[in-house]
Amino acid sequence: MTLETSIQNKINTWLTGNYDTDTKHEIQKLIDTHAATELIDAFYKDLEFGTGGLRGIMGAGSNRINKYTIGTATQGLCNFLKAKYPTQKIKVAIAHDSRNQSDFIARTTAEVFSANDIYVYFFKALRPTPLLSFAVRELGCQSGVVITASHNPKEYNGYKAYAEDGGQFVAPDDKAVMDEVGKISNINDVNFNTIEDNIELIGEDIDKLYLDKMASLSVSPDAIKNQHDLKIVFSPIHGTGITLVPKALEMFGFTNVILVNEQIIPDGNFPTVIYPNPEEKEALTLALKKAQETNADLVLATDPDADRVGIAVKNLNGDFELLNGNQTGSLLVNYMLSAWEKEGKFTGNEYIVKTIVTSYLIDKIAEAKKVTCYNTLTGFKFIGQIMTELQGKKTFIVGGEESYGYLVGDFVRDKDAVVSCAFIAEMTAFYKNQGSSLYEALIDMYLEYGFYKEKLVSITKKGKTGAEEIVAMMERFRNNPPASLGGAKVITLKDYTLQKETNLLTGQVTDIELPKSDVLQFITEDGSIISARPSGTEPKIKFYCSVNTVLASKNAFAETEQRLEEKIGNIMEDLAV
């Protein structure tokens, strides 16, 4: 078995270096069984921070999540923090989700921080990602880490690093952290010598502070009081949502929360689902079954680290239907802005934030309400960045992204499924109190602002070869953009790598005032927007299709939806992917 020299050298380093016996045995077993593909994938590169931090398959190797890659990342982060805060006593907070090895990896992270004389607030049991963001801010930390791979399959784990504002690192600090990690060329440079006095366990006290602040944001307490027995089915899908979502719903005043018992025990094997992703209908199978049995009003399901939430509501036929992230986000924005408008709370200084691949229905709603809507690159860290920049200057109401992540209030700097569950339930109670439903509210929103339909198509390309295919695909679109999509001429190309917007009719080029990112957007003459983007956390290339038209009446809803669905299908055919 012959491997590239660089890969073989890394393997040799791990076999002869200061790594534990189990790790060396795992590598040697791959060598003995001539598992070339596995060895290449495990060693062809070092894990890097993407839009969601460090994420990968657990196992031995430089491109895997293990004690040593986590230790290296933490040592690099320590070195960065010491350079950035040379005169301060540095503090960090650490949390973890329910994944296999998450507690061990979190403990390893805490040990390296402590060994570097950095004080650690360590959640003594699993907690949602948004609580970590809250803790960083509340405890005056300079950084934080949560061990999670979000909604990825059970083989994965990850490491999300946070800055002192409670948001994930952004430029230039993200690059500076990566540079510090890259400087560590020998595992002996990582300090694993724990100082236990530098580690403090935290838990329920932080929970209470967070829940109290969240409850203070409620905008329709009277509706909840009238509809307190709203039937809400909730599933944490074996993750951290069980620790706080039921408490949050109770604090808001809901008294009839029905748990999916088969999925309330945290379990990193996610035994009842194929993929612990609330974006997928399969992951909500048991929750939907429970909802049908109990004639529930609302289904809520959170991913393993409880920063994303999927929902289902009854459609016009009385059947449960899953709403996508754009629909839920648009409803939430419309609800919050309408509530603020009704209460006369607008001062002209309010704003919301979304990403460039999230429904532009949200922009239209914000425009109608005379509220500023900022668009950011994909990744909630960019939403958090704007919130931090505008803190004390403008008032943040709500924000979100199409990948089922939303935020209400400004005491967290990441997507938050706990606060989102509470407000989605409140929103449902509000409309029920008016004799309506969330689904009917969706249609009413389309009638007022236009029928926007979005669809995400993801194509998986695994390993080194897959990564190369994704690069080639993006170059093909960049150099030869499609002339038309879905029967409509493409009139604008936005290239966020080049930071240029080109009018394909006139050739006029203007600058894009956002950081560089490997995203292409095609805009057609009829207002369709198609975005192509390699994932920063998974071996995928993603295509976001958004089409829209006027909805003439409620009776025309089904026919109009079908037309838009067919148009999306035609667009994907034209892309030939």
Task: Output the 3-class SS for 470-530.
Answer: HHHHHHHHHHCCCCEECCEEEEEEEECCCCEEEECCCCCEEECCCCCCCCEEEEECCCCEE
Encoded tokens for 10: 């890394």
Q: What is the dihedral of CA 383, 386, 388, 393, to 10 degrees?
A: -140
What is the DSSP track for 99-123? STTHHHHHHHHHHHHHHTT-EEEEE
**Angle at CA of residue 156, ends 154 and 159, nearest 5°:** 130
Q: 572 φ, ψ to 5°?
A: -65, -35
Distances (CA, A) of 329 to 231, 427, 498: 21, 12, 29
Rounded to whole angstroms, the Cα distance separating 476 from 472 reads 6
Spatial neighbors of 320 by CB under 8 A, at least 6 apart, are 288, 291, 292, 299, 312, 313, 314
Question: In a 3-state reduction of DSSP, which class is residue 23?
Answer: helix
Closest CA to 374 of 386, 385, 389: 386
Q: What is the dihedral of CA 501, 406, 175, 387, to 10 degrees?
A: 80
Closest CA to 108 of 71, 145, 76: 71
Spatial neighbors of 218 by CB under 8 A, at least 6 apart, are 224, 252, 422, 426
Rounded to whole angstroms, the Cα distance separating 202 from 199 reads 10
Spatial contact of 523 and 492, defined as CB atoms under 8 Å apart: yes
Rounded to whole angstroms, the Cα distance separating 28 from 19 reads 13
> Angle 438-449/417-433 helices, nearest 10 degrees?
90
Task: Output the 3-class SS for 200-221.
Answer: EEECHHHHHHHHHHHHCCCCCH
Distances (CA, A) of 494 to 337, 533, 541, 553: 30, 12, 17, 34
Half-sphere exposure of 325 toward its Cβ, with a 13 Å CA cutoff?
Answer: 28
Half-sphere exposure of 441 toward its Cβ, with a 13 Å CA cutoff?
Answer: 26
Where residue 437 falls (left for φ over 0; alpha for ψ -120 to 50; beta otherwise) is: beta
What is the DSSP track for 429-446? HHHHHTT--HHHHHHHHH
Catalytic residue set? 150
Token pair 């509220």 is at which residue?
Answer: 371
Q: Give the helix/strand (H/E) hosting 76.
A: helix 67-84
Distances (CA, A) of 391 to 9, 139, 337, 344, 514: 49, 18, 19, 22, 20
Spatial contact of 519 and 529, defined as CB atoms under 8 Å apart: no
